[in-house]
Chains A and B, each alone.
Chain A
């Protein structure tokens, strides 16, 4: 009896509930629907919702708890002898010695890693994948595998029964409550309101979850590396020795070079995007004839849809060599992965972002202000410079901040076009690295999770999150304040 079948039953009961609820409402109305408090469909929905939702919650809770509970039951059912014979084959000698010294305590002797390994073996066996050449292992854990299989069957059947009972019971109860005075519409709408609230909180809880995980792992990182060293240190070299006997750098986690690198690239991007975006917004909203506008605006928005990875290879294959050639011709020493190339391409990427937002803001300036200025004998450009732009300024600043936060968090372009070396420099022709690039390069490849190197990723992520969050909040506040003024 699979879970799919149970969910199918649930849907079926819901559907039956709808049909039954609706027809009973029609029946109790006795031919004049108008005597009902709500239209019949609401009575149907009422029964269907209550037949479906509580049982659905039961299924979800059951699914969430089933795994851990069964793991615990299965391991609890193993005796010391079985664990020992499994361990003799599967564990390395050192770990085996440890285990055997306190085997009397049965499963408690197992470390978390070994517990997982044992469970995987049992589950594979239960699934019929007898991959173990050594029959001793199979013998040892066969009872546990059987146990697991039984538990699974039992669980599915119990769930099926529980769902059928709960759903059917709710259906019968709700059905019996239907009478012409019953306020089905209010009831259904309340349930729907709760569903809406639930959906909207999912995003919020996800965000909170991400922030908390960033926070806790960062705290772990800061127990290994002092906060002050991370925030104010000038040297970034995250290579740490994996084993005690390994010859390697001790690792240093001063993130200032990453922050300056990120800022350098973002500033270059904004230097490109701000004037270009703003001026194209002014042209589009103030000067462009309707036809040009209706053509150019969608095209600009297509530019915003180009995948960043495409910009990335555009940066590294076209722009970077071009800049280096020019630099060399001028006698400058230009790195092949210069911050300039990455920044310029990133700037192009956020041009449509800036221009689209600024265009909205400029359009929101009331025509009355333009008329007032023109009516005083101002020219169009005087009106734009002295009335429209000052009026739109808060919104434009907001747009710039949103674009900047986009540039700071952008990853793909810098991964491809910026370097890996953490140079502390403000020279745009040098190679720099950014926070996002470091996060990516640290997490790619095999890492021990507890190492300072891996954990540093969370601290970097936290800083990145904090900066973009502040930028976004400030930007949205500015834009909002501005909107209130003219609406």
Chain B
């Protein structure tokens, strides 16, 4: 199983260097194994979509990439995850620094109960990326512009972020993640709580962000995976079944299970 997935991986070659590389990643919740040895590479400046039926382990895998699983007591991770060749589960590695390099956007928009401005500068302030007011102003403007939110909120930066609409909140969260200048952005079903128009907005945004960041996105929506990603990984019952160019996965899947899922036979 492991070797076959590896060969499939290498088939989908990108011209870009590998940014994140997972080798034989196993995740346990207590005695229960949620992931059975996942091997996958994420290339620089690409969007990798993680798809699969509920409970297949795609979100779990995503959260291992910036060690968000650390917050769950009973969760244990085995295997190696390399970020630019460096093992992120190395005990010597500072998890705080890792998360500054690998940002995350969550399923439900979760702006802090602070002003829009304070939401954006939260991360930069923690990491000392700026000290002067004009530097912060610049970060806020740049991040909000990148998230396509600047024009909508530039006159009300001091209003609470929780007062925005759902789609705006999610873009605020993306802006907040972008503000720390991470290298990788993880998105866990970022559009599942949004309406179609807000979703279209975010999908466009993801495509633009690809130029500067490496993105891994978990999604339930196969059209979305097809629209935003260059490569797609299909998970099933804790196994990474297949990974390859998105077009190929959707038009010509190798595995029967992938085919069953994308044609809607189960999921």
- Chain A interface residues (CB < 8 Å from chain B): 289-290, 366, 368-379, 382, 386-387, 390-391, 485
B177's partner among A369, A376, A390, A391 (CB-CB below 8 A) is: A376
16 sample A-B contacts, Cβ–Cβ < 8 Å, listed by A number: A368-B106, A369-B110, A369-B113, A371-B71, A375-B66, A375-B103, A376-B99, A376-B100, A376-B103, A377-B98, A377-B100, A377-B123, A377-B127, A378-B122, A390-B113, A485-B113
Closest to B100 in A: A377
Verify if B134 is at the interface (C-beta below 8 Å from A).
no
Complex-state Cα separation, A387 to B111, whole angstroms: 10
Closest to A393 in B: B113
Instruction: List the A side residues contacting B93 at CB < 8 Å.
Output: none
Task: Indicate if the CB atoms of A371 and B106 lie closer than 8 Å.
Answer: yes
Instruction: List the A side residues contacting B97 at CB < 8 Å.
Output: 377
Verify if B31 is at the interface (C-beta below 8 Å from A).
no
Task: Indicate if the CB atoms of B123 and A376 lie closer than 8 Å.
Answer: yes
Verify if B104 is at the interface (C-beta below 8 Å from A).
yes
A379's partner among B66, B96, B177 (CB-CB below 8 A) is: B96
Task: Indicate if the CB atoms of B68 and A371 lie closer than 8 Å.
Answer: yes
Complex-state Cα separation, A255 to B104, whole angstroms: 60
Instruction: List the A side residues contacting B108 at CB < 8 Å.
Output: 368
Interface size class of B (residues with CB under 8 A): 20 to 34
Chain B nearest CB: distance from A119 CB in Å? 67
Task: Indicate if the CB atoms of B96 and A373 lie closer than 8 Å.
Answer: no
Task: Indicate if the CB atoms of A375 and B68 lie closer than 8 Å.
Answer: yes
Chain B nearest CB: distance from A396 CB in Å? 13
Verify if B112 is at the interface (C-beta below 8 Å from A).
yes
B71's partner among A289, A290, A370 (CB-CB below 8 A) is: A370
Given known contacts A370-B71, A382-B126, A376 and B110 CB-to-CB distance under 8 angstroms: no
Complex-state Cα separation, A134 to B62, whole angstroms: 101
Complex-state Cα separation, A387 to B119, whole angstroms: 10
Verify if B173 is at the interface (C-beta below 8 Å from A).
yes
Closest to A365 in B: B113
A-side interface mostly: helix
Chain A nearest CB: distance from B128 CB in Å? 11
Task: Indicate if the CB atoms of B126 and A372 lie closer than 8 Å.
Answer: no
Instruction: List the A side residues contacting B113 at CB < 8 Å.
Output: 369, 390-391, 485
Chain A nearest CB: distance from B78 CB in Å? 22
Given known contacts A370-B71, A387-B112, A377 and B106 CB-to-CB distance under 8 angstroms: no
Complex-state Cα separation, A376 to B122, whole angstroms: 8
Further contacts, 14 of them, CB under 8 A, given A366-B110, A376-B176: A368-B110, A369-B112, A371-B68, A371-B71, A371-B104, A372-B112, A373-B112, A375-B103, A375-B104, A377-B126, A377-B180, A378-B123, A386-B112, A390-B112
- Most chain-B Cβ atoms within 10 A of its Cβ — which of A372, A373, A378, A485? A372
Instruction: List the B side residues contacting A290 at CB < 8 Å.
Output: 73
Chain A nearest CB: distance from B36 CB in Å? 25
Instruction: List the B side residues contacting A371 at CB < 8 Å.
Output: 68, 71, 104, 106, 110
Given known contacts A382-B126, A387-B112, A372 and B68 CB-to-CB distance under 8 angstroms: no
Complex-state Cα separation, A290 to B98, whole angstroms: 27
Closest to B123 in A: A376
Complex-state Cα separation, A369 to B176, whole angstroms: 13
B114's partner among A289, A368, A390, A485 (CB-CB below 8 A) is: A390
Instruction: List the B side residues contacting A485 at CB < 8 Å.
Output: 113, 162
Complex-state Cα separation, A306 to B226, whole angstroms: 64
Task: Indicate if the CB atoms of B180 and A376 lie closer than 8 Å.
Answer: yes
Instruction: List the A side residues contacting B104 at CB < 8 Å.
Output: 371, 375
Per-residue A-contact encoding for B77-101, CB less than 8 Å = 1, 0 else? 0000000000000000000111110
Chain A nearest CB: distance from B170 CB in Å? 12
Chain B nearest CB: distance from A306 CB in Å? 33
Instruction: List the A side residues contacting B68 at CB < 8 Å.
Output: 371, 374-375
- Most chain-B Cβ atoms within 10 A of its Cβ — which of A290, A375, A391? A375
Complex-state Cα separation, A374 to B97, whole angstroms: 11
Instruction: List the A side residues contacting B114 at CB < 8 Å.
Output: 390
Query: Shortest 3 CB-CB distances between A and B: which pairs?
Result: A377-B100, A375-B104, A377-B99
Complex-state Cα separation, A404 to B28, whole angstroms: 47
Chain A nearest CB: distance from B159 CB in Å? 15
Closest to A382 in B: B126
Per-residue A-contact encoding for B168-212, CB less than 8 Å = 1, 0 else? 000001001100100000000000000000000000000000000
